[in-house]
C-alpha cells in the first residue's frame, strides 16, 4: 500500500471515530480484516446487496495489485485508478482514500 493511502486511511479513521459514525463492510471484508489481525471497533457487517449504492473507499491502483484477485475502477470523485475486492457490486460508488478524506472533512465541517 502506498504511504499516501496509509496516511489517508489513518486520517479517515480518525474523522469517522471522532464523529461516532459506523463503518460498514461486506462479510468477506470483515473476515479478511480479522484474518490480518485488523480490529475495527463497532464494524457493522452488512450483506453485499445492501452495499449496492454505498461509497467504497479504495486504495490506489498498483502493479502488481495488492491482492491478485482485486478489481480495478476509477475514483468516482477524481478519476484516479483504484483497486477493490471482487465482492463489491459494480453499482457501488468507488472513491480513493485521498478523496474520502477530503469529502469526510467537508461533511464534518458542514455538520
Cell triple for residue 110? 458542514
pLDDT reported for residue 17? 58
pLDDT reported for residue 22? 63
Predicted confidence band at 36 (pLDDT cuts at 50, 70, 90)? Answer: low
Classify the C-alpha dihedral 33-66-56-13 as positive or negative. Answer: positive
Which one of 4-13, 74-83, 102-111 scores highest in mean pLDDT? 74-83
Q: Do the Cβ atoms of 99 and 106 come closer than 8 Å? A: no
Cis omega (within 30 of 0) on the bond before 64?
A: yes
Q: Is the pLDDT of residue 109 over 70?
A: no
Domain that holds residue 61: 3-110
Domain count, the chain: 1
pLDDT digits (tens, 9 = 90+) for 47-93: 877 777 788 888 889 899 888 999 999 999 899 999 998 988 888 88
Count CB atoms within 10 A of the CB of residue 82.
26
> What's the CA gap between 44 and 8, in Å, rounded?
21
pLDDT reported for residue 81? 94
pTM of the model: 0.67
Q: State how far the alpha carbon of 69 is from the alpha carbons of 26, 40, 64, 86, 101, in Å.
A: 16, 24, 11, 7, 26
Amino acid at each position: 500500500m502506498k504511504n499516501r493511502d496509509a496516511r489517508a486511511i489513518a486520517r479517515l479513521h480518525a474523522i469517522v471515530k471522532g464523529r461516532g459514525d459506523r463503518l460498514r463492510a461486506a462479510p468477506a471484508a470483515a473476515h479478511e480484516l480479522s484474518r490480518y489481525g485488523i480490529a475495527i471497533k463497532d464494524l457493522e457487517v452488512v450483506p453485499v446487496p445492501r452495499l449496492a449504492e454505498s461509497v467504497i473507499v479504495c486504495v490506489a491502483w498498483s502493479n502488481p495489485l495488492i491482492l491478485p484477485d482485486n478489481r480495478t475502477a476509477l475514483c468516482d470523485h477524481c478519476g484516479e485508478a483504484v483497486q477493490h475486492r471482487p465482492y463489491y457490486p459494480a453499482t457501488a460508488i468507488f472513491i480513493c482514500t485521498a478523496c474520502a478524506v477530503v469529502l469526510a472533512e467537508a461533511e464534518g465541517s458542514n455538520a
